[in-house]
Copies of this chain bind each other. A is one copy, B any other.
Amino acid sequence: MTETAQRPTLEAVAARAGVSRATVSRVVNGGDGVREPLAERVRRAVEELGYVPNQAARSLVTKRHGAVAVVIAEPETRVFADPFFALQLRGISKELTAQDNQLVLLLTEGRDDHTRVARYLAGGHVDGALVFSLHLDDPLPGLIRGAGLPTVFGGRPGWSDGEAGVAYVDSDNRGGAREAVRHLVGLGRTRIAHLTGPLDQTSAADRLDGYRDVMGGADARLVVESDFTPAGGERAMRALLDRCPDVDAVFAANDLTASGALRVLRERGRRVPEDVAVVGFDDMLPVAEATDPPLTTVRQDIEEMGRIMARLLLRRLDPRTPEETPAGVVLPTTLVRRAST
């Protein structure tokens, strides 16, 4: 291990510039109240010595860390591996670094890992948290709220319904679903089915609601529950074709499900989009473009979601922010037409 030749301290800079520690500190932190010739001397000393403030010492007295935790509670590796989180992370990272904050990533590993994460968050190592928790029965959000740490949730938390003051950012799942289904209606389709996601996730439930907003109490057999995976999409599509052979359009709850559905349709000799039109959700690029035909789908600006989450949190952390009660922020979606409709 390379012995990092004793990092210079405030003291050293002060000595070199011929001023006191306090003055150097002032210059380093914005420099108000230090007259120009002196400030310049300090800045030069900082430069020459390559001084970098010791964050630990700083945190010790300020009680702020310039760090935010991002918690991803996703037991199934498979789901975590979709590009969704990567994009969110990128958005979050952009916003955080723009304001000189670090991103501490916390992934939960299985069921009883929640307490570890909760303890860490309660331990005062970070200033706030951005939490992704997809399932309704997840104990983590509750634990985190107990920790009393400023938090913004990614995706509408299932239990937030009545409560005010829960900050979250979500896509307009319901509105996007409505748009998708209306698009199919506009194409003259009448037997429009929906392959849902796991309904214990608010995103899946909201998309189903959007479908129902347009289709009303249409044939209930046209709704098949699935699980956001290609294999699940295949199963659901088979079940659907068996009970409703006359289906002429499918709105899948996400692109992965749609890809499974497409495969079954081809296998059963249905042409897409001539016989059956298919719409997905997410615009998960590697998938939506890799299917055959490429998928019409509802795009959500995932990176922007991340950015907004971070911005929301940083605003709450800033002591200058007036005490408000931010509700959820819901981002619009857009329909992307490709060859599957």
Interface residues of A (CB under 8 A from B): 1-2, 4, 7, 52-57, 59-60, 65, 67, 70, 77-78, 80-83, 85-87, 89-90, 93-94, 97, 102-107, 109, 116, 119, 122-125, 148-150, 230-231, 256, 259-260, 262-263, 266, 284-287, 289-292, 303, 316-317, 319
Q: Are A89 and B105 in contact (CB under 8 A)?
A: yes
A81 in contact with B77 given A65-B56, A104-B103 (CB within 8 Å): no
Which of B80, B86, B231 is A81 in contact with, Cβ under 8 Å? Answer: B86
Q: Are B55 and A57 in contact (CB under 8 A)?
A: no
Q: Are B124 and A4 in contact (CB under 8 A)?
A: yes
Can you tell how many copies of this chain the complex includes?
A: 2
A290: nearest chain-B partner, CB-CB: B259
Which of B104, B148, B316 is A102 in contact with, Cβ under 8 Å? Answer: B104
Q: How far is the CA of A197 from the CA of B225 in the complex (A)?
A: 39
- The 8 A-B residue pairs with the shortest CB-CB distance, nearest first, are A81-B83, A56-B59, A2-B148, A259-B290, A52-B123, A93-B107, A56-B60, A103-B105
With a CB–CB cut-off of 8 A, which chain B residues contact A149?
A: 2
Q: How close is A308's CB to chain B, nearest CB, in angstroms?
A: 17
Q: Are B104 and A104 in contact (CB under 8 A)?
A: yes
Which of B77, B87, B290 is A303 in contact with, Cβ under 8 Å? Answer: B77
A93 in contact with B109 given A52-B119, A54-B60 (CB within 8 Å): yes
Q: How far is the CA of A45 from the CA of B75 in the complex (A)?
A: 34
Q: Are B148 and A4 in contact (CB under 8 A)?
A: yes
Q: How far is the CA of A97 from the CA of B104 in the complex (A)?
A: 12
Which of B77, B124, B317 is A90 in contact with, Cβ under 8 Å? Answer: B77
Q: How far is the CA of A216 from the CA of B263 in the complex (A)?
A: 37
Q: Are B82 and A85 in contact (CB under 8 A)?
A: no
With a CB–CB cut-off of 8 A, which chain B residues contact A150?
A: 1-2
With a CB–CB cut-off of 8 A, which chain B residues contact A125?
A: 55, 102
